[in-house]
Structure 1
Amino acid sequence: MDLSIPYAKELNIASLVVQRATLLTKKVLEAVDKGALDKHDSTPVTIADFAAQALIISALHQAFPDDKFVGEESAQSLRNDPELLERVWSLVSTTRLDDPQIESLLAAPETRDEMLDLIDLGGNGDGGRNGRIWVLDPVDGTATFMNGQQYAVCLALVEDGQQKLGVLGCPNLNLEKGQILEDVVDKDGYGLMLSAIAGHGATIRPMGRGALLPAKPLEKLPSVSSTSDLRFVDCLTANSSDNEKHQQVITRLGAPWPPTTDLWSAQMRYIAIAVGGCNAMIKIPRRKSYRSNLWDHAGGMLIVEEIGAKITDLDGASVDCGLGRTIAGCYGMVVAPESIHGKLLEAVQQYLREVDC
């Protein structure tokens, strides 16, 4: 670990806690495959969400006791459901990395009550512009997680409203096709992890069961001069986005539609841009009032920015991560290589002016 790089200790701990949490989610999926859990109800993903959040926050809270948290889950439903509580506790208390020396760097809850309180550190976190805040989504892509498709364990460090670090563990990520496909998964290993430190680039590494495996730098996004060379990632089944408007904008640009890559998980769409097969994304919400959750974007945004993408809202403003549990000031989104972002943003704005007339 190169301690001369800012946030090097944070990156090391964050990468280890994400790797441990991905092993936990894999255990849940194995239980589904063996019939121990019913994939047709919400129990498996609920257990994975709570248990992963507890393990992540436990280790970070010990390592950085003054830091705060924003997480998707709160523990009230576990307090109200003793059976669910026991299932989550069983998973939290037994999931460890195989390397004892590495595992010793990571705290884990010692009691059920401690586990509940740790989960609530995230679920009750308000976010904001002051100080250091860890933002986490234990399982981003719950529907595809249940289907054994693509999902991510997501963690970001936001300091004074700015992303400083992002780590995304993608347990099913398999790049043998040169891009991400929902059903092309890593059946033999533990997937891939992508990470970034602000101003210091982004990396990718395979995940394992113990010490971190070697990482290599992610390549920069190629420069794009023509909008017809844009290749979009989208989610055609998303309820929050207006895909009819997406289609109108993208076909006007001369780019392919349907999108080159179609993924349910919001964070996996950033990963798709980072690893190839696509290089752009737009989000035109169906409702003017819609705002995304912070944990659906923090970390993934940083990774693609570090390889040369520019991200703004539909007005061209940068995304503010210091406004609470949502990206409250951000209506919609445009993501593209910096060389072409302005043209793409202009095309989106022109189309929206026409349809709003």
Structure 2
Amino acid sequence: MNRYADDLSLTHILADAADSISMARFRALDLHVEAKPDLTPVSDADTTVEKAVRATLARSRPRDAVTGEEFGAGNASANGRRWVIDPIDGTKNFIRGVPIWATLIALLDGDEPVVGMVSAPALGRRWWAGKDLGAYAGRHPAGAQTLKVSGVSQLADASFCYASLPAWEADGRLPAMLDLMRDSWRSRAYGDFYGHMLVAEGAVDVMVEPELSMWDLAALIPIVTEAGGAFTNLAGGSAAGGGSAVATNGRLHAEILDRLSTRERTWSELT
């Protein structure tokens, strides 16, 4: 039996608990929202979901470490395993009533993400994967769809997805991004976890983001790679620790990395 099969099954239990909390607070008139020190929003749903996931992990995997967006990292584990939680990826969507948000749950064994769960209950869909277990999507494991990336090999035929353009402007790669958009068959900014999951499904061929945290990325990596895709940072290295993200069907990966390697100096750097 695969060593991560039980962990992958556990993520469905964690996602069930998260979904019941988040959906009860989605579009709630009394939803409480505050600004974190970095001025990004956090709702009472974010904190309640993370507490619930942490509580279950404390009972089910007491030897494993846990890192979450809202409550940070605890003690290091003796076994090298760490769960990474983003209780609601897409909080800005969540608080505005847009249904594109999800709970992200990952397991890292050492520095490698080996299990990933993305649960988007307002969309009625989940995506999950485990190392050497494949990648799947559906409402639940029964009747799940096996995921496979697209076979598109030319940028002119590709559907290109990206994060907001101001973020690329701040990164100094906006000219390269605009050239990629012009040269692609279609470009859209689906945002957050969703573009990466569309890559895993084969509906989109490329998804790029310039700045992300570990909890934004860790759950996405096994799903894209187990579906046959490639997932790196902009330098072509591991994205597991956070930073930038380039997810593709694999066939387009080298070209995307090469074309995004051109970076202009930003205004703050020039001044």
TM over 0.5: yes
Query: Which residue in 2 is equivalent to 1:248?
Result: 178
Distance verdict in 2 for CA 1:23–1:169, change over 3 Å: same
Query: Which residue in 1 is equivalent to 2:268?
Result: none
Alignment partners' CA distance in 2, 1:162 and 1:205 = 25
Q: Is the contact between residue 113 and residue 218 of structure 2 (CA under 8 Å) also seen in structure 1?
A: yes
Query: Which residue in 2 is equivalent to 1:28?
Result: 25
**Residue 51 of structure 1: CA displacement?**
0.8
Mapping for residues 1-357 of structure 1, pairs under 5 Å:
4-29=1-26, 32=28, 35=29, 37=30, 41-42=33-34, 45-74=42-71, 123-125=72-74, 131-149=80-98, 150-173=100-123, 191-206=124-139, 212=140, 214-236=142-164, 239-242=166-169, 244-245=174-175, 247-251=177-181, 254-256=183-185, 259-260=187-188, 262-264=189-191, 266-283=192-209, 285=210, 292-319=212-239, 321=240, 326-327=241-242, 330=243, 332-349=244-261, 351-352=262-263, 355=264
Q: Which runs of 5+ in 1 are unaligned?
A: 75-122, 174-190, 207-211, 286-290
Q: Which runs of 5+ in 2 are unaligned?
A: 36-40, 266-271
Q: Is the contact between residue 195 and residue 204 of structure 2 (CA under 8 Å) also seen in structure 1?
A: no
Runs (4+) of structure 1 exceeding 6 A deviation are: 126-130
**Residue 127 of structure 1: CA displacement?**
6.8
Q: Is the contact between residue 140 and residue 151 of structure 1 (CA under 8 Å) also seen in structure 2?
A: yes
Larger strand proportion of the pair: 2
Distance verdict in 2 for CA 1:126–1:302, change over 3 Å: farther
Query: Which residue in 1 is equivalent to 2:269?
Result: none
Q: Is the contact between residue 202 and residue 249 of structure 2 (CA under 8 Å) also seen in structure 1?
A: no
Q: Which has the larger radius of gyration?
A: 1
Deviations 1:106-143 (A, max 9, x none): xxxxxxxxxxxxxxxxx233779970000000011011
Alignment partners' CA distance in 1, 2:34 and 2:193 = 21
TM-score by structure 2 length? 0.84
Distance verdict in 2 for CA 1:71–1:144, change over 3 Å: same
**Residue 276 of structure 1: CA displacement?**
4.5
Size of the alignment, in residue pairs? 256
Equivalent position amino acid for 2:20 in 1: L
Distance verdict in 2 for CA 1:126–1:280, change over 3 Å: farther
Equivalent position amino acid for 2:10 in 1: I
TM-score by structure 1 length? 0.65
Alignment partners' CA distance in 2, 1:224 and 1:334 = 16
Alignment partners' CA distance in 1, 2:158 and 2:136 = 23
Equivalent position amino acid for 1:68 in 2: A
Alignment partners' CA distance in 1, 2:206 and 2:79 = 31
Deviations 1:123-169 (A, max 9, x none): 23377997000000001101101122210101000011101100110
**Residue 38 of structure 1: CA displacement?**
5.2
Equivalent position amino acid for 1:15 in 2: H
Equivalent position amino acid for 1:204 in 2: A
Alignment partners' CA distance in 1, 2:168 and 2:142 = 37
Equivalent position amino acid for 2:175 in 1: K
Q: Is the contact between residue 155 and residue 166 of structure 1 (CA under 8 Å) also seen in structure 2?
A: yes
